[in-house]
Amino acid sequence: MRATFHEDLARLEMAIRAEGELVLRSLRACVGALEAQDVELADEVIAFDDEIDRSYSALQEGVHAILARQTPVAGDLRLVLAMLHINLHLERMGDYCVTIAKLTKLAHGLASDRALVEGIDEMGSRAEEMIRVALDSFSARDLAGAERLVELDELIDRANRRVVGEILRLGTDESAREWGLRMLLVSRCLERIGDHAVDIGEQTAYLVTGEFREFTDASHREQP
């Protein structure tokens, strides 16, 4: 019975990793669609979210089944609860990728700015790095790696501020300003993906130490 329990935990961890790879694929595609102004690729990102949602639902069911059948305690319980939270953060990241794809479609045909696109591309690369660090830290139970996400989050926040600055310099051209407003929302989505990666790091720290603490206030910026 106990061996089966740990096999189930291992399968859930593999599923977390697989879902993370789906999110990374969606992130690369949505940023690529924006850079290339590729509406068809944006549509593919939107449709692909169904696969991420299926992975999310399967993981949720797996976690609930373990909680119901095995009533884990101590470290095993922390692992199950951490996976429950990480699964949610990954699903939210996928939702942000869909939003970016939809904004790409809405911005299609509007006057664009190369410097702004490069800034968005930088943010996408930083968000991808943060997801990988978050997933690797969780897999390796690497507390130092998880804590490094705070520094990486500051880098993506700086890139976001640069993008906002570029948007403010777009001038009075109506088409350019409308495009800039779309990119402002895209930039916000990428910043929030970084925040969710930090949240995953916090779950790793909880798993390793047995104590939950927030690395930053990134998770709560939208609250009063």
pLDDT digits (tens, 9 = 90+) for 125-148: 999 999 999 999 999 999 999 999
Packed helices 149-168 and 174-209: angle between N→C axes, nearest 10 degrees: 170
**Is it the case that residue 170 has pLDDT exceeding 90?**
no
pLDDT digits (tens, 9 = 90+) for 45-101: 999 999 999 999 999 999 998 888 877 778 888 999 999 999 999 999 999 999 999
Q: What is the pLDDT of residue 219?
A: 47
Q: What is the pLDDT of residue 224?
A: 34
With a threshold of 0.75, does the pTM exceed it?
A: yes
Name the CATH topology of 2-220. Answer: Methane Monooxygenase Hydroxylase; Chain G, domain 1 (1.20.58)
Print the SS3 string covering the chain. Answer: CHHHHHHHHHHHHHHHHHHHHHHHHHHHHHHHHHHHCCHHHHHHHHHHHHHHHHHHHHHHHHHHHHHHHHCCCHHHHHHHHHHHHHHHHHHHHHHHHHHHHHHHHHHCCCCCCHHHHHHHHHHHHHHHHHHHHHHHHHHHCCHHHHHCHHHHHHHHHHHHHHHHHHHHCCCCCHHHHHHHHHHHHHHHHHHHHHHHHHHHHHHHHHHHHCCCCCCCCHHHCCCC
Domain boundaries of the chain, sorted by first residue: 2-220
